[in-house]
Each structure stands twice: as structure tokens, then as C-alpha cells.
Amino acid sequence: MAMELIPIGTILALVTNQVMKTAQAAKDVVIEKESFKVLSKHLFDIEPVLKELQLRQLNDSPAARLALEALEADVKKANNLVEKYKNRGRFYLLVKCRHIVHEVQEVTRDIGRSLAAFSIANTEVLSGISDQVNRLQSEMQKVEFKTSHSQLQIVDKLSQGLRDQKRDQCFANDMLEEIARAVGVPVEPSEISKELASFRREIEEAGNRKERAEVLFLEQVIELLSQADAARDHKEMKKQYFQRAQVIERYDTQKEYIPPLKPFKCRISGEVMVDPVSLCTGTTCERAAIEAWFDCGKKTDPDTGDVLEDSSLRSNLPLRQSIEEWRELNYCLKIRACQAKLSSGVDLKVEEALNQMQELIRENSINKDWISIGGLTDRIISILGSSHNREVRKKILITLKDMVEGHARNKEKVIEHQGFDYIVPCLGRDRSISMAAVELLYELLQDRSKWNVSFCCQLSQQSSAILFLVTLLKGPVRESADYAEKILNKLFDVDEENISRAAKSGWYKPLIDHIVQGWEILLCVLF
């Protein structure tokens, strides 16, 4: 029915109901509450104005109708905005907080402008409350919203991390914890998994809307956050690993690689796809490849050459899942091969296994967990204690550092398996081995952005640790000396006895500083 045929009083009643519905709903948005609360308050303040008009005879003029229809359209926009963000994932809402605040601000100002036009068209009717209406529409047109400072800090830190291409698990742990705390999500794998699943759906929807920049940004965020400990349910990872390990039992024990199926490869690049999308013709390509194809002005199917009537892309989720499963089966094949090589007792085989482990970790950080679940961490710690081969020991130290970097669970595993007993003696070896050992030791003692005091205390109990660290401190390798000094200073904090142990090992400065500080404190007390 055309709007001009609907009585203006009916339109007014509909707008009033829509205002109240939107005002109520705006109170329930979980992110940027303050902005939505202000919008809600203004809408609640509009209600008395509209109720007043319902009690009086509203001008049914073209100007009044246009103003009322404009107000109705803007309130609908506000309602759509509230509905758009009311049930979205909390992580996504935080990441988009700047954009959301801008949208809320603009829709509030639009309603203010429509209210001003509506007031002008009904000056006589609203004469009794003109001051109230003028104040309200003026406030709404001039409103300025700002994202909370704490949320902006998190978003800026995240964006800077992406620009710096930070991929370490420690940074991911910190970011995930900060984001979860800011949006009120418990830092537990079950809850985090739900939020990340919701975040992935946002990526798929953005991809379907052809928002390439949005997709790229969100993919970078999810890739980073997925590396955090809390983003992975350890029980589920163990279950998934053993499911894949069971599948590969049917393959020959010498097999280390399953070739990809033809459908796994992009029709344009020929590479195995990561984000496969389907064309209207059924042809599947890597999203980035087909988008670049279209950007070059090509409008044909890259496989058949047929002209495409529709260039829309649809995420091929079943194929992507199959590709991921194929990759995971290959991870398990390589882990199984590493197990056999490490058990062979042949140094060349052991080195080959260590190289493969490093490659697995670089390829996908989930392999930090799967390698450990597969028992390889325990095995290489044991070999570190028994091997007399210089290259083997060095590669084990480097591999262990890759394994534990930013990974709290793996650090605990190394310590539980008497890792210090085998790492500390390596500090006294040649330069390359001692460098690898002190770097690993430093990483083990880190707990995100702090020191792990418990691990520091355990290291302090190693009788030769102070001696070897002091030796490195005085040695010619600057990098080793820097790590050694940082570790020693922390060990002095956890146990003052370590200061005298360092002096007995030939480093007297901490002891002298300690004595001088003690005299200064005593003099202050006395005088």
C-alpha cells in the first residue's frame, strides 16, 4: 500500500512503536555499550514527543508526511544497526569497535536531523514542548561518540602486531587474554572456541559480500589468535591427533607423504588451496587467485573458458575441510616417521627427524602440540642427555626452543622431564651449543611478558647453573652474555644466595652492589 494512502496517525503510531522497540534493544548490545546507551536514551526521549502528537491533531500536510517518513526511515536504520550488532560474536565486535561507533554516531545524527524537520512541519502542535524538542534534536545532531580508551588500546596493539607480522604464541596468548577480558569471555578453551567459530563465520560472510580487505584483515586476526594456548582445547587436540594417527595406520610405515587429490588444486595457480571458493559453473579456485583473475578484467571460467553470467563466489566449506584433513594426515605421517628415526640411534637419522620437526612447526603451530602428544618431546630430551654428537645436541636445543616458544604446556613438559638436567650442562659446551642452550633456557623461564618464578627457582637448584652462566657472561659472544646476565639477575631476585654463588664463580659486582645497598639502608635507618 502506498504511504500516501495510510492515515498519518497510523504512520505516527508505527513510528512510535519502532522507536520504543529500537530503544529497548539498543540497551542489550554488549560492545560499545555507552554509545548504544546514548542512542537508546535519545530514542526514549523522542517517545514523549510522538505521544504528544498522538494526543493532538497532527498536521496532515505533504511536509509533515515527508518529515515523518524520513524519521521512520532513520529509526529503521537504527533498528537494523542494533539488530546487526546485537547478536554478533564479541571478539568481532571488539575488533570492529571504531567502525561500530562511527555507525552509531551517524545514525543518531540522522535521526536528529529528521526530528528537526519533523518539528518544523508541526510547529503549532508541538508549541507546548518546543524547548524540549529543540534541545533533543540539537543534541542528537551534534552527538560525538568515542570508542573506550581501553578497547582502542587493544585494537591498536593487535593492528600493530599484525603490521609487525608477529606470529609468536606468547603475543597471541597476551592478545587473546586481553580481548577476552575486555568483552567478558572466560579464558577457557570451550568458551574461546565458540568465539573463534563465530569469528570464522564473520570471515565467510565478508567473503560472500566480496569485502576483500575485510576478509584479509579478519583472516590475519584469526590466524594470530588461533595460536594462543586457550584457543586450543588440549583434549580435543589429542582426540583429533589420535583419530588421524589411526587413519595412517593403513599406510606403509615408510610412507611420509600423501599426494594431494586433483580437486584440492586451484584451477588457476595449480597449488593446493587454503580458501577454496566455487563459481556458478561449479569450478573451484583459491579465493585470492580468482579475485585477481576478475581484477584483470577476465570474465571467463578459468577451467572451461566459458563466459560467466554470474561472478559471485561461494565458500566451498566441505572441500576446505577435506584439504585440512589431508594436511593433518601428512603431519601425522611425518610425526610417525620422526618417531622411527629418533628410535634408530643413527645420528644422521636423528638429525633428519629434528629437521622435519622444525619444518612441521613452521608449517602449522598445531604441530607444537601434536609433536608433543606423539611423544617426540620426551624422546629428544632423552637423546640430549645421552648423545655425544655435537650437531645432534645443537639441533635438539634449537628444536626444543621452537617447541616451547610461547607455549606454556610444552615448557611444563620439558621441565617435568628433567630438561634442566640436560640443558644446563650444554651451557659449558662450545660456542654454538652454549648459545643455543642459553636461548632455550631464557625462553623456558618466560611466562608471557613476565618471568616464571617457579621455573627460576627450579633452575636455581641446579648446582652448576650459576657457574656456567657467569662463564657465558664473561665470554666473547655478546648475545650469549646478554641472555646470561638477564637470567642471572632474575635468579638473584628469587634467591639472594645466588649472589654469593656468582661471586664464588668470579662475578663480584652483584655482591658489591648488594653490600653497598645494605649499608645505605642501614645508614638511612640510623640517621
Q: pLDDT (tens digit, 9 = 90+) per residue, 144-170?
A: 777 778 888 898 998 888 888 776 677
Last residue of a domain, one of 229, 253, 281: 229
Q: What is the mean pLDDT of residues 379-388?
A: 95
Backbone angles phi, psi at 285, to 5 degrees: -140, 165
pLDDT (0 to 100) of residue 1: 41
Spatial contact of 182 and 200, defined as CB atoms under 8 Å apart:
no
Provide the 3-class DSSP secondary structure of residue 284.
Answer: strand
Query: What single-letter DSSP state applies at residue 272?
Result: B
Residue bearing cell 545514525: 107
Last residue of a domain, one of 146, 166, 185: 146
Last residue of a domain, one of 229, 260, 286: 229
Domain count, the chain: 3
Backbone angles phi, psi at 405, to 5 degrees: -60, 115
pLDDT (0 to 100) of residue 5: 60
- State the Cα–Cα distance between residues 319 and 328, nearest whole angstrom: 14
Backbone angles phi, psi at 267, to 5 degrees: -70, -15
320 belongs to a structural domain: no
Residues 100 and 32 both lie in one domain? yes
pLDDT (0 to 100) of residue 127: 66
Query: What are the pLDDT digits (tens) for 258-316?
Result: 999 999 999 999 999 998 999 989 999 998 899 999 999 899 999 989 998 888 888 88
- State the Cα–Cα distance between residues 142 and 11, nearest whole angstrom: 27
Residue 31 falls in which region: left (phi positive, over 0), alpha (psi -120 to 50) or beta: beta
Query: What single-letter DSSP state applies at residue 475?
Result: S
Residues 193 and 129 both lie in one domain? no
Residue bearing cell 589411526: 246
Per the structure, the complete domain to which residue 220 belongs is given by: 150-229
The radius of gyration computed from the CA coordinates of the chain, to the nearest angstrom, equals 32
Alpha helices, DSSP H, located in 309-430: 317-343, 347-363, 366-373, 376-386, 390-404, 408-416, 419-423
358 belongs to a structural domain: no
Closest CA to 289 of 266, 305, 310, 309: 266
Residues 37 and 162 both lie in one domain? no
417 belongs to a structural domain: yes
- The highest-confidence range among 28-37, 172-181, 184-193, by mean pLDDT, is 172-181
Spatial contact of 471 and 430, defined as CB atoms under 8 Å apart:
no
Q: What is the pTM of this model?
A: 0.70
Q: What is the CATH number of the domain that holds 475?
A: 1.25.10.10
Handedness of CA 97, 98, 99, 103 (dihedral sign): positive
329 belongs to a structural domain: no
Query: What are the pLDDT digits (tens) for 436-462?
Result: 999 999 999 998 778 999 999 999 999
Report angle CA 243, 249, 252 to the nearest 5 degrees: 150
- State the Cα–Cα distance between residues 317 and 284, nearest whole angstrom: 11
Q: C-alpha cell of 211?
A: 569485502
Cβ neighbours for 441, distance < 8 A, ≥ 6 positions apart: 423, 424, 427, 459, 483, 487
142 belongs to a structural domain: yes
Residues 465 and 518 both lie in one domain? yes
